[in-house]
Structure formats: C-alpha cells, structure tokens
Structure 1
Amino acid sequence: MRWDAFLEQVQERGEYGSPQEAERSARTVLALLGAHLVGQVRAELAARLPETFAVILLNPLQATEPLSPERFVRATAAWIEGATEKTAAWDVSAVLSVAADAAGEDLTRRILLQLPPGYDLLFGHPET
C-alpha cells in the first residue's frame, strides 16, 4: 500500500484534522504492534505497508510481555501526547483496521493468532 493511501485511510477512519495526526498515531500503534508480532507474520505485514511504517513495525518498541487489548490501548495513550484511553482506543482502531485491510483476511487471521484474545475488535474484524 502506498504511503499517501495508507495515511488518507487512517486520517479518514480516525477523523483526524491533519495527515500529521494520522501519521503520529500510525507510528505509535505500529511500533507497539511490532513488539507483539514475530517471524513471518510480522515480515508479511511489513511487506504490505508503506516502507516507513514497515521499518517501524520491524524495529518495534520492546515488550516484556504480550499486552491485553486494554493494556495495548493504555500503552498507546501513554505514547501519544494528550491522549486519553478513549482517544487512544480510537487511534488504535483507526490504524489497525487500515493495517488489516492492507494485510487481507488470511494474514489478519494469522496476526490475530499471535495476539491475546480481544484484538479482533481493534482490527475491525470481530470473530463470529
């Protein structure tokens, strides 16, 4: 996916006032996500993202343990200046739903298998 298309979708879904706000959220969320994905799944997702975001995903923030979806949102709020848990949940969903679209159904399913239960909602793919 191209840089501008990815950011436009994040900006639209997150209802951000500027591409810079969308980029800030995307950088933070993908850095946190990268700490939770390993191996081929992380590499495949990176290959479907714009290069800058792929590098962020492949060189993640360090996680000592898998974060539950709630803790992932809290961690995002801590990294985004002025964010609350409510706004961070919005940020996470905006970015992860665009990443899921870029990944496609099969890869998104494999991503979700590496994450604790509950991330399906953040990716906009509730399990049925």
Structure 2
Amino acid sequence: MTMRREAFLTHVQERGEYETVEEADRAARVVLALLGAHLVGSVRAELAARLPETYALILLNPLQATEPLSPERFIRATAAWIEGATEKTALWDIGAVLSAVTAAAGDVLVRQILLQLPPGYDLLFGHPQPL
C-alpha cells in the first residue's frame, strides 16, 4: 500500500525535527535520489510502489551513480547536495528519510534493499544486522 505524501513528510519532519515541511521535503528528495541510484529491478520498483508518487518518481529516475557509494560516501554526497549541510546534519537527514522509507516499505522489503547496498547501510536504516 502506498504511503500518502502528507504521512511520509510528517514522518520525516517529526523524525528529523525539521521546523518546516519544506526542509523535510528537501531531505527526502536528496536521499531518495541518491538511494535510487543504488537499487535495481523489482526491489526498486516495489519500494517506489509504496512511496508517494512524487518520491517514487525521484527514486525511479535517480542521480546516476558510477559506482556504489559506501555509507560514508553516501553521507558526504548527501551533505554536498543539501545547502549548508555538514556530514553530521546529513546523517541526521538520512536517518529521518530512511526511517520513513522503512515505515513505508516494511521489514521484508528493507532486508531486500539492504542486500543490494554495500555493507554498513543497515546502520543508516536504523536496522543493525545481527552478527
């Protein structure tokens, strides 16, 4: 089931403690554009189907990644795309957006997403993998 835009943004805004919906929207757009570059096939399509249309389109038409970004480089790339961001604030933005993605996707799909990502993304999603 698709999460409504308002519910998705409210989740991001509350988790990120943003003062405005615009700040939450900006973080969501950047993080999903970068995430979309790392996902392929049915996993990306299934996640897109669960996101509000605006964000589904961003996920399906991502920034082109020449290589998979490690979690550290994903954080740096996010900071570079958000005006005035630092790596610390970018990590906060990523956590806010990915918690909303997790809420929309559910645990089974999140596990499939993590299989397509380099090691360490489980921490960004707030789902540390058991050893």
Task: Output the TM-score relative to the length of structure 2.
Answer: 0.97
- Which of 87, 90, 95 lines up with 1:88 in the alignment? 90
2: distance between equivalents of 1:71 and 1:87? 14
Give me the identity figure in percent. 78
Residue of structure 1 in register with 2:61 after alignment? 59
Residue of structure 1 in register with 2:125 after alignment? 123
Residue of structure 1 in register with 2:78 after alignment? 76
Q: By how many angstroms is 1:124 displaced?
A: 1.1
Residue of structure 2 in register with 1:21 after alignment? 23
1: distance between equivalents of 2:117 and 2:99? 15
Residue of structure 2 in register with 1:103 after alignment? 105
- The code of the aligned residue for 2:57 comes to V
2: distance between equivalents of 1:97 and 1:65? 24
Q: By how many angstroms is 1:86 displaced?
A: 0.2
Note the residue ranges of structure 2 that are not aligned, 5 or more in a row. none
Tell me the SS of whatever aligns to 1:83: coil
- The code of the aligned residue for 1:118 comes to G
Structure 1 runs (4+) greater than 3 angstroms displaced: none
Q: By how many angstroms is 1:101 displaced?
A: 1.3
2: distance between equivalents of 1:27 and 1:111? 18
- The code of the aligned residue for 1:112 comes to L
Q: CA RMSD in A?
A: 0.5
Note the residue ranges of structure 1 that are not aligned, 5 or more in a row. none
Residue of structure 2 in register with 1:49 after alignment? 51
Task: Output the TM-score relative to the length of structure 1.
Answer: 0.99
Q: How many residues align?
A: 128
